[in-house]
Chains A and B, each alone.
Chain A
Amino acid sequence: MAFAYLCTLGLFFLVVGRPGNMLFQSIGLAVMPLLIVGLFALPGRVPGGGAGLFVLAMPLMQAGGL
């Protein structure tokens, strides 16, 4: 899930170029559940440890007023 989160985030920055674009934000939030399900459907494991740490940092960034 953390990997899917990072993928979605990457999608925002790669595709949008201008963070905050409502259209791509909507698309990204539709893609994220698909990514999670897709990653779970894949055989084997996906890299997620580092991503997990990143996701944990998000609420702290949020609370810090980013």
Chain B
Amino acid sequence: MIAFIALLCWMFALLCHGLLQPKIQRLLGVGCKHRALLQGLRLVLPLAALAVCMRQPMPLALLLWLGMFSLGGLMAGGMLSVASVRARKPRAEA
């Protein structure tokens, strides 16, 4: 459960990070409406993941936190690439 929560935290944090990048915004065809909120979440969620992981003994907590960063990042990257493929289709058809 701890790993799952940490994974979600990292995934959403890196999703926010991705949505803040101009390259990804262009790929998705979106602007950045909630910049401050996304920046806040990007900062807070990894700390929340760390706080959750710290319930485990060291060094398991640290390994878990870093491991979930990797997996969460891959999931966020996967979601953003699926979204960019979908956003690309209507533009390509047009």
Please say whether the chains A and B touch (CB closer than 8 A). Answer: no
Question: Which residues of B are in contact with A by a Cβ distance under 8 Å?
Answer: none
